[in-house]
Amino acid sequence: MLRLPEKSHFYSFERIVFPSLKDIYISKMDVTRYMRFKEKVDALKDGIEDVDSTLITNLCKSAEEILQQFSQTVRYEIKRSLTDDISMLFYTYKDLRDNFNILEDFKNTFLNYCDICNNQALKKVYDEQKIRSYIDNECVLLSRAEFPNGKVYHLYVYDENNALLVYSASDHRKDEIDRNLAGRANKLLHYNDMLFLKSIGLSHYDWGNVASFESPNGIDKFKMSFGGTQMKVYSYFVGNSLLGKFLVFSKKLLKR
| Average pLDDT in the chain | 93
pTM: 0.93
Read off the pLDDT of residues 80-115 as tens digits, 9 standing for 90 and up: 999 999 999 999 999 999 998 999 999 999 998 888
Three-state DSSP class for residue 168: strand
Read off the pLDDT of residues 144-195 as tens digits, 9 standing for 90 and up: 999 988 899 999 999 999 999 999 998 765 667 788 999 999 999 999 999 9
Three-state DSSP class for residue 210: strand
Cα dist from 199 to 42, 160, 192, 203, 204, whole Å: 35, 12, 10, 10, 12
Query: In CATH, what is the architecture of 60-202?
Result: 3-Layer(aba) Sandwich (3.40)
Domain with CATH 3.40.630.30 in the chain: 60-202
Instruction: Collect all residues with Cβ–Cβ distance below 8 Å to 98 and sequence separation of at least 6.
Output: none
The answer to whether residues 239 and 249 touch, using CB atoms and an 8 Å cutoff, is yes
Check residue 131 and give its pLDDT: 93
